[in-house]
Amino acid sequence: MAEFGGGATKRVREVVDQVRERAFPYVRQPRTRVPWPLYDRAQTREVPDMLELIRILVDRYAWEHPEAPLPRPSRGGQPPVSLPDRLKVLLAQSYLGLPNRPTEGEVTVLRGSLGLSRYFGYKTVERSYGDPRIVAALYALFELTNRPVKGLETTFAADGTGFPTAIGQHYRGVRGRQREQEREQGLLPGGGRDDHDWVYNEATVGLRYGLFAGWVSWTDHSVGELGKFEGVARQTKALHDEWNRFLGDGGFSARWVVGMLDRMGVQAWILPRRNVRLTSLGEPAWPRSLQGLARDPQEWLSIHFQRVRIETTWWSVASRNSGRIRKRLSSRRETEAMLRGVVRNLRRLCYLRWLEQDPKFTAFAPPVED
């Protein structure tokens, strides 16, 4: 950063202070026009489209990942339920926001729409949350839902949130009461004697189509967002090799994050902390990532502020899942949280089907064998 002179650091700090105090004279960008007639059509068709897409997508997963033949019960009783059937019911349960017992009744109603091979009870639903094969299938479904936009999505933003495990918990309010320094360091709320647990989540969202690409859920409040970011970033890069731009808030303002992204071929637009220094300290990508903030703050911020897309995405997930996480075991809570992410991608694909008027958003059916 020597070419910027000794006042570059001071200039960047001034801009960061103005942004965080909401005093920067930012010129707002024009909003994208929403095709409201198509949006209305997508809303009126959401439920049947969702059930159809769940069936088609899980059938596609089952075709690509064939399951071993189910063993027959040795001492009578009901035969085991196939993984695709259980996965369809879990996705429908998450979409409808139902507890386990009412889900048993819904299975009888939705059996035809979901393409279930047989009826099963709520205990099977309950035990499925502890099946590691379900977790592996959910990660595969993240890949399947991103398949229609491969090669088309190049900019991703990352952020985290928490799903409550008790009524009356509000993650945004708890985070708002944290000190700014704690939020910038990625420290998470919760963990006190009188605090309820949270299920923490971190994800990347494509800014063009609004689909989750990388995702991780955990329940240990001592692990911050930065500790999970490398895994989320590598998931995203594996799904979208064309990824070349990352947008993040101050929680991701670390030299190793910028350096890791740079080695992956991704440029970082991360708003730094107030006491930022432009020295590289062995990471040459760090000062390069802040050049634009020193030279042309308007242009740099016009790109950075696009990360509001992930804020609205988390808001939409929270508004459609206003209830708490119902499971009690940590591993099952993480599975329940991941289901919400996959369901969000499915719902987004249902809307893109109408908004984009493009058949690629529903072309998941397995090839027809001769």
Distance of CA 301 to the CA centre of its chain: 23
pLDDT tier for residue 197 given thresholds of 50, 70 and 90: confident
Q: Which one has a higher pLDDT value, 184 or 32?
A: 32
pLDDT at 362: 77
Phi-psi region of 5 (alpha: psi -120 to 50; beta: other; left: phi over 0): left
pLDDT tier for residue 221 given thresholds of 50, 70 and 90: confident
pTM of the model: 0.92
pLDDT at 6: 61
The pair of structure tokens assigned to 38 is 């198509």
Q: Please determine, for residue 41, whether its predicted confidence score (pLDDT) is greater than 50.
A: yes
* Bridge partners, 198 (sequence order): 164
H or E element in which residue 213 lies: strand 212-218
CA angle 170, 176, 177 (to 5 degrees): 95
The pair of structure tokens assigned to 124 is 């099977």
Distance of CA 315 to the CA centre of its chain: 11
Sign of CA dihedral 268, 304, 244, 346: positive
In DSSP notation, 275-330 reads T-----TT-THHHHHTHHHHH-HHHHHHHHGGGHHHHHHHHHHHHH--SPP---SH
Tens of pLDDT, residues 139-188: 999 999 999 999 999 999 999 999 999 887 877 677 666 666 666 655 66
Q: What's the whole-number mean pLDDT along residues 1-6?
A: 49
